[in-house]
Amino acid sequence: MDSFSTLIRTASHEQHVEAETSTFMSDLLGGRLGVDAYARYTEQLWFVYGALESDARELAQDPVAGPFIQPELFRLAALERDLTHLRGPDWRSTLTALPATQAYAARVAECARTWPAGYIAHHYTRYLGDLSGGQIIRGKAEKTWGFERKGDGVRFYVFEEISNPAAFKRGYRELLDALPVDDLEKQRIVTECKRAFSLNTDLFRALGEEFPLSA
């Protein structure tokens, strides 16, 4: 039987392609959107990572989710620096969550509080993605909007404390493979991962509607 890390990657592959090729992502990576769209996306991430990271201290004590709580992954401080750069020091006063973001953050928070194994699905979907495709997004953002390499504006994509992302991802997959849960629970985590991908796709759709390309 395949390892759990292989199972979760394979099960979410189709939705990964969908997210990657969504209109918003394609337009963003294609350099067709203004920095305002990028800033709006970064704002939405702030709500999502708030939900991922605000209960981290309690989750760190959990036997199932605990090993995944690794401070070198935390993104909230980096997002806040990026938002200060993108929106100015008063960024909090103009920040709003799209309904799709509210739904996403609410589901993450619900898992964090009531179902630590489900929380892992959200953790995996975001952080492993940020360590992978996130690096492609960073390069495009630097080029398109002129951010300093690995500087303010793209700090979200820079994991200062992870010097070897490939090795880190290997370690992460080992944690997935060592999850102390039964097969049924693993299946539920896979289902939650698919939901996490759908929540991302919903968010991209909403952003795409807010930033349509002028025909």
Residue 206 in contact with ligand HEM, rule: CB under 6 A: no
Q: Residue 61 or residue 166: which is nearer to ligand HEM going by CB?
A: 166
Residue 207 in contact with ligand HEM, rule: CB under 6 A: no
CB atoms within 10 A of CB 137: 19
Restricting to residues 131-160, name those near ligand HEM by CB under 6 A. 132-133, 136-137
Q: Cβ 175 to ligand HEM, closest distance in Å?
A: 12
Q: Of 7, 19, 56, 111, which one interacts with ligand HEM (CB under 6 A)?
A: 19
Q: Residue 9 or residue 188: which is nearer to ligand HEM going by CB?
A: 9
Q: Cβ 33 to ligand HEM, closest distance in Å?
A: 13
Q: Cβ 51 to ligand HEM, closest distance in Å?
A: 14
Q: Residue 84 or residue 106: which is nearer to ligand HEM going by CB?
A: 106
Residue 186 in contact with ligand HEM, rule: CB under 6 A: no
Q: Of 65, 98, 128, 206, which one interacts with ligand HEM (CB under 6 A)?
A: 128
Residues 6+ apart with CB under 8 A from 152: 81, 82, 84, 85
Q: Of 200, 206, 208, 211, which one interacts with ligand HEM (CB under 6 A)?
A: 200
In order of 32, 49, 79, 136, the CA distances from 97 in angstroms are: 23, 12, 15, 25
Stretch that binds ligand HEM, among 18-26, 50-58, 89-97, 155-163 (CB under 6 A): 18-26
Q: Given the rule CB under 6 A, which residues bind ligand HEM? A: 9, 16, 19-20, 25, 29, 124-126, 128-129, 132-133, 136-137, 169, 197, 200
